[in-house]
Amino acid sequence: MKKNMTLIGLSKYAGLACIVLLSACNNDHEPDAEIPGTYKVVTGSGDINAKLAEFRTLLGDPLNTTPNQPAVGRREINWDGVPDNLTNTDTFPGDFFNSTDPGAPAGRKRGAVLSTPGQGLRVSNNDFTDVLTGDANHFNAFSPARTFAAVGSNKMDVTFKVPGTATDASVKGFGVIFSDVNLENYTTVEFYDGDKSLGQFKAPVKTDENGFSFLGVAFTDAKVTRVRITSGTAAIGKATYNAPNDQVIMDDFFYSEPLAQ
């Protein structure tokens, strides 16, 4: 994520100093030295709109919204199309955004499958105030009103399928908006090609009262078959709400068009 799967828009950065060689990564988890190519890291906090525009350019246009798309462009998930009966419960289905039912709407066929070692996944339309009672301003939604988190764990995985099918796929880049990152070094995204780590990257801490942080990484040559997201230091829950724990939720996801491996 062998077909020509060069990331649209990334090649124009190849001569710039902002492109980092994989072998020179300074993240906590160094990428394996034999993985070829380069990558671009995009991070931001506070007003993250310019960083989102930069990362969308790296992933490429158009924004694909139906299955059977050409091998260009990107996908996005903002949770706001999740129906009420799957909101504010711990049983949000991990394959909601990759239905293989021919009769399912196109919005359910985005090629992303979610899982967690915890007890479930939860979409909230109230910024998790029903879970973390007593602080209505703890989290904010970047694209109102729904946000997302794993339940019973601060870790979750995203794997990729050709949209609307069960065919394994890979992407060239993935990014996520976090809400309320208070502590450095704990909110991370690790990228994998199969079992091989491509590196772990850190989200910046929040810099204003809105509390948004963005982290996205796009690769030129390496295929990304899975990302492991670690949100803060503890799972969302009343027992882990107070300091020194840092609880973090997620909003929009961004990734390149998933292509068959």
pLDDT the model gives residue 165: 97
pLDDT the model gives residue 237: 79
The answer on pLDDT for 20 being more than 50 is no
Q: Average the pLDDT over each of 137-141, 169-173, 200-204 and give the range with the smallest value.
A: 137-141
Burial class (CB in 10 A: 0-12, 13-18, 19+), 105: exposed
**Pair 233, 155: CB distance under 8 Å:** no
First to last CA, the chain: 6
Task: Could you list the beta-strand ranges (E) of the chain.
Answer: 20-21, 38-45, 74-77, 112-115, 120-124, 147-151, 155-160, 169-170, 173-179, 188-193, 196-202, 212-219, 226-230, 249-256, 259-260
Band of residue 135 on the pLDDT scale cut at 50, 70, 90: low
Question: In DSSP terms, which residues pair with 215 in a beta bridge?
Answer: 43, 176
Burial class (CB in 10 A: 0-12, 13-18, 19+), 27: middle
CA–CA gap between residue 8 and residue 113 (Å, rounded): 23
H/E element, 166:
none
pLDDT the model gives residue 134: 60
Top pLDDT among 35 and 163 is at: 163
Share of the chain above pLDDT 90, in %: 77
Band of residue 244 on the pLDDT scale cut at 50, 70, 90: confident
The answer on pLDDT for 9 being more than 90 is no
Torsion of CA 216, 220, 224, 230, to 10 degrees: -20
pTM score, whole prediction: 0.86
Q: Average the pLDDT over each of 59-68, 128-137, 187-196 and give the range with the smallest value.
A: 128-137
Top pLDDT among 24 and 88 is at: 88
pLDDT the model gives residue 33: 46
pLDDT the model gives residue 2: 36
